[in-house]
Structure 1
Amino acid sequence: MAPKSAPAKTAARAARSNTRSEKAATAAPELAPFLSDLARVIEHATRGLQELRTAIPGLSFFRRDSLTPPAYCFIKPSLVLVAQGKKQMIFGTDTYVYDTARFLISSLDMPARSGVLTASPERPCLGLNFELDLHTIAELIAHGGLAKPPAPTPPQKPTAAQLSDARSMGIGRVTPPLLSAFQRLLALLDEPVAIPSLAPIFQREIHYRLLTGDQAARLRKIAAIDSQSHKIAKAIDWLSVHYAAPLSIEQLAASVQMSAPNFHHHFRQLTAMSPLQYQKRLRLNEARRLMLNEQLDAATASYQVGYESPSQFSREYRRLFGAPPKRNILALRQSSSAGLQPGPQ
């Protein structure tokens, strides 16, 4: 039997992940009124659009009228909630499927691939992206009466589920209290004058609901100042600013008070890639932005993001995005003019 091709392997992994997610994919009846209301608001706001940044800071809507293959994106620390339809996020070798019963959460700035699994013009995929505030999370943990659960004793060899829990991205269960908080937040779009006063209250409640839900441990790890996850988050913040600079793993590890081997291990555990791979994704995504939005040519963009060889840049760009820079940017511009530009969710 011939070995599976890379796309076939990816599809097989996605299928296995889909099967695991389907066990809880049907939204509970008590969620239906909330989801219907959220979908109505998002559908009305996004007519003729694919993305909409709302007047509420950190809140954006998305809409897709058809299925889309996974496209590369950078996702900020955020919660992605689907009010109608189904999506997937591919993170390293892991595939996360989320819909009206399950939300996606990311606790770090992460490169990933996002696609739509269920959508049609008659029933589009509708949802929102809610940016997380790690300072609010840390404050709620410290002063919100949220007792820290006892740490489990780790086994000698972590299970697959525990390795998944160590990632910065995960899937959580949608609950009525969480949807109710979002319902109140979105209602402010009809009362813009109240947004500065009331939006922070509802945003804080959403963070509280997350910290009392099944993804609390993931958020606690990032917010805890003395945790390895928090140190990796600080390193990622540095990389996000200095992606064009030469990278010394030893110096970066020392800057967050970790040994190089320990830093490399925890970085890969959280992000599913090495620090050098993460830096490369940052560089390539920024170069694509420069070519697409600032009309830079490939060579100029490659030098600006830290590459010394345009030919190496072109090879790595093609490997990541599936086409040489010039052809990929042309396709993106054509897609954008047709209203098909992929969004961050």
Structure 2
Amino acid sequence: MTGPAAPPLADASLLAATIARFAPVDGLRATPIAGLKLFRGSTPTEPTHCVYEPSLAVIAQGAKRVELADEVYEYRAGQALLTSLDLPVISRISQASPERPYLGLALTLDSRTIMQLAVEADLPPVREAAPRGLLVGGIDDALMDALARLVRLLDQPAAMALLAPLVQKEITLRLLIGPDGARLRQLAAAGSRGHQVARAVAWLKQNFAQTLRIDDLATRLHMSPSSFRLHFRSVTGMAPLQYQKQLRLQEARWLMLNSHLDAASAAARVGYESASQFSREYSRVFGAPPARDIAQLRKRAVGPGTSTEAAAHVA
């Protein structure tokens, strides 16, 4: 299944030139502006397992491919990927070269700001249906201009602290009044199905090592187990147990790679009681047993893209 992909709407060349100036080398660059990260890549990358936070990811040059469960989302310069809650995905840069590197940014979205602006702008109530938490779409000129102005504030440290939050609010408001604004409001509006799923995701992210009891979590959210399963899959593209498994395996991989835990210790840390079951499920997701996979990742990390791989855990 392929996610919807609208044609690019705005010229991204100015944003690309601005990002290139502030991200002169490959990899991830955190910035002094809260929630803003810049990316550069001179070659296509291997698929990377990571968890996308609620954010707007914009490509200024190049192209990217993101997989959520059995869905594929492809987007390129002038398009954005809107993520409205934490989702485990497989991501890779699909188009880049030394002459025309991949250039992009990610801006974290805040649910409280979303709802505050929705109220202030007197936007209509959200629909009851829970939408998918990932969407590819085009960017109009006004939103592209606001994004470029936000990045250019990195040149103005004296003004950045005061102006950056205002431009970020402008970007959020433009998303809310755009064609997909109801999607954001649905996942942030208290009492909506989407918001209930977002609360479940937040609980799973904090408690993924615990045994998941669907009935108990559904009760916590004031939903029936069947309704909870239905709406959770509608938003995330996967069942709650599958979502938990993805979080566990990605955390275990990160612990083995960065904290040098062995497979048995990492498995126990993330909630597996059986090391053999952990190894089977790990191999199924990452394509190799834990020890071999970690060795391959460390070997790959000595080449280009090290900082991109290291950032995958928090992307």
Alignment TM-score > 0.5, same fold? yes
RMSD: 1.9
- Out of 214, 220, 231, the position equivalent to 1:249 is 214
Aligned residue type for 1:318: S
Query: Corresponding residue for 1:124?
Result: 101
Q: How big is each residue's C-alpha offset from its partner over 1:40-89, in whole Å with a ceiling of 9 and x where there is no partner?
A: 12222222231111111101011121223432111000111000011111
- Out of 120, 131, 150, the position equivalent to 1:166 is 131
* Structure 2 contact 58–78 (Cα < 8 Å) conserved: no
Query: Corresponding residue for 2:171?
Result: 206
Question: Within the alignment, does 1:137 sit opposite 2:102 as a pair?
Answer: no
- Out of 296, 304, 309, the position equivalent to 1:331 is 296
Aligned residue type for 1:324: P
Helix, strand or coil: the match of 1:37?
helix
Question: Within the alignment, does 1:261 sit opposite 2:261 as a pair?
Answer: no
Helix, strand or coil: the match of 1:337?
coil
Deviation at 1:125, TM superposition (A): 1.0
Deviation at 1:266, TM superposition (A): 0.5
Query: Corresponding residue for 1:178?
Result: 143
Which consecutive residues of structure 1, in runs of 5 or more, have no partner in the other structure? 1-12, 155-164
CA distance in 2, matches of 1:299, 1:81: 39
Deviation at 1:333, TM superposition (A): 1.8
- Out of 33, 41, 48, the position equivalent to 2:18 is 41
Deviation at 1:133, TM superposition (A): 0.6
CA distance in 2, matches of 1:330, 1:63: 25
- CA gap of 1:283–1:275, structure 2 versus 1, over 3 A, is same
Q: How big is each residue's C-alpha offset from its partner over 1:77-122, in whole Å with a ceiling of 9 and x where there is no partner?
A: 0111000011111111111111123211110100011122221111
Helix, strand or coil: the match of 1:68?
coil
Deviation at 1:134, TM superposition (A): 0.7
Question: Within the alignment, does 1:294 sit opposite 2:259 as a pair?
Answer: yes
CA distance in 2, matches of 1:232, 1:206: 25
Aligned residue type for 1:200: P
CA distance in 2, matches of 1:175, 1:84: 16
* Structure 1 contact 70–90 (Cα < 8 Å) conserved: no
CA distance in 1, matches of 2:151, 2:200: 34
CA distance in 2, matches of 1:72, 1:324: 15
Deviation at 1:228, TM superposition (A): 0.7
Residue identity (%): 43
Aligned residue type for 1:203: Q
Matches within 5 A, 1:1-345: 17=2, 21=5, 24-25=6-7, 27-28=8-9, 31-32=10-11, 35-148=12-125, 151=127, 166-341=131-306, 342=309, 343-344=311-312
- Count of residues in correspondence between the two structures: 310
CA distance in 2, matches of 1:332, 1:204: 38
Query: Corresponding residue for 1:157?
Result: none
Aligned residue type for 1:310: A
Helix, strand or coil: the match of 2:276?
helix
CA distance in 2, matches of 1:332, 1:42: 28
Aligned residue type for 1:122: E
Deviation at 1:171, TM superposition (A): 1.3
Aligned residue type for 1:100: A
Q: Which moved more, 1:188-197 or 1:285-294?
A: 188-197
CA distance in 1, matches of 2:47, 2:225: 33
* Structure 1 contact 67–117 (Cα < 8 Å) conserved: yes
Helix, strand or coil: the match of 1:209?
helix
